[in-house]
Amino acid sequence: MNIALWIVQGIACAGFVFSGWMKAFRHEKAAASWPWAKDVPRGLVVFIGLAELVGAVGLIVPEAANLAPALTPIAAIGLAAIVLLGALFHVKRKEYTDIGVNIVFLALALFIAIGRL
Per-residue confidence (pLDDT) for residue 40, from 0 to 100? 92
User: What is the DSSP track for 15-44?
Assistant: HHHHHHHHHHH-HHHHHHH-THHHHS-HHH
Q: What DSSP state is assigned to residue 93?
A: T
Summarize pLDDT for 38-58 with one digit per residue, the tens. Answer: 999 999 999 999 999 999 999
- For the entire predicted model, the pTM comes to 0.92
Average predicted confidence (pLDDT) for the chain: 94
